[in-house]
Amino acid sequence: EAQVTQNPRYLITVTGKKLTVTCSQNMNHEYMSWYRQDPGLGLRQIYYSMNVEVTDKGDVPEGYKVSRKEKRNFPLILESPSPNQTSLYFCASSPSSGGPTDTQYFGPGTRLTVL
Amino acid sequence: AQKVTQAQTEISVVEKEDVTLDCVYETRDTTYYLFWYKQPPSGELVFLIRRNSFDEQNEISGRYSWNFQKSTSSFNFTITASQVVDSAVYFCALSELGGYQKVTFGIGTKLQVIP
């Protein structure tokens, strides 16, 4: 089944404890992206990747890192999480190498709470 | 810079009423793509439609229809004869072909269909 998976789905952590949220897609998509969803703010793009080893900042990259060593995986790293990173996170992928102009397929979301 | 405005944050309708969700966008690019996504209470994000800037034809899919007007920079979404299952948050999104490969979402419109 074609899908985007994220792990973990729920995570409660404490300030400063490094964490990684994994994202994997099995559709051979080139474009991958991370979003955070907050009440009243909609979805905001954190980072995106056009292809392996090609990543770039979205609108809210502060406090996050990403890497794209393999086409299928695009982990989101929080080196020192803070309470303002408490949010619902979505990973997405789309087949277009020309950018995010194609339909995006979203993962199920990861609800992160930073105490 | 690209921007998407969904001025209606919450709408309530009685079942079988028609409802229109507004989306107004800003872009300097001549080639861009517009999307609508649905987020039901279960939380996943579901693709509804994708439209490029050169295709102003309105589209109908069952009870759903979309009205794209470049003259007013709007891409409105109408649900005819609404049903309880239409209750969800609906997001409009914009992606430009040139420039930064980012996707900008509106803040979403929460639609509640009352039985």
pLDDT value, residue B100: 60
d(CA B15, CA B83): 5
Task: Give the DSSP H/E element, type plus range, for residue B92.
Answer: strand B88-96
Residue range A6-12: average pLDDT?
Answer: 97
Residue B14 has pLDDT above 80, yes or no: yes
Report chain A's mean pLDDT, rounded to a whole number: 93
Q: List phi, psi (to 5°) of A107.
A: -75, 175
pLDDT value, residue B59: 86
pLDDT value, residue B98: 64
Residue in A41, A100, A109 nearest the CB of B103: A100
A90/B107 touch (CB, cutoff 8 Å), yes or no: no
Residue A18 has pLDDT above 60, yes or no: yes
Residue B101 has pLDDT above 80, yes or no: no
Task: Count A/B contacts: CB-CB distance under 8 Å.
Answer: 63
Q: How distant is the alpha carbon of residue B12 from its chain centre?
A: 17
A106/B100 touch (CB, cutoff 8 Å), yes or no: no
Contact of A91 with A32, CB cutoff 8 Å: yes
pLDDT value, residue A98: 57
B47/A105 touch (CB, cutoff 8 Å), yes or no: yes
Going by pLDDT thresholds of 50, 70 and 90, the confidence category of residue B13 is: very high
Residues of B in contact with A106 (CB under 8 A): 37, 44-45
Question: CA of A99, closest CA in chain B: separation in Å?
Answer: 5
pLDDT value, residue B1: 75
Residues of B in contact with A43 (CB under 8 A): 91, 93, 105, 108
Residue B6 has pLDDT above 60, yes or no: yes
Name the residue with higher pLDDT: B103 or B101.
B103
Report chain B's mean pLDDT, rounded to a whole number: 92
pLDDT value, residue B96: 82
Question: CA of B81, closest CA in chain A: separation in Å?
Answer: 26
pLDDT value, residue B29: 87
B107/A33 touch (CB, cutoff 8 Å), yes or no: no
* Structure confidence by residue, pLDDT tens digits, A48-81: 998 899 899 999 999 999 999 999 999 999 999 9
Q: Is B104 on the interface with A (CB under 8 A)?
A: yes
Q: Bridge-partner residues for B3, per DSSP?
A: B26
* Structure confidence by residue, pLDDT tens digits, B51-75: 989 888 888 889 999 999 999 999 9
Task: Give the DSSP H/E element, type plus range, for residue A33.
Answer: strand A31-38
pLDDT value, residue B57: 84
Q: Which amino acid is at A64?
A: Y
Residue in B45, B96, B102 nearest the CB of A106: B45
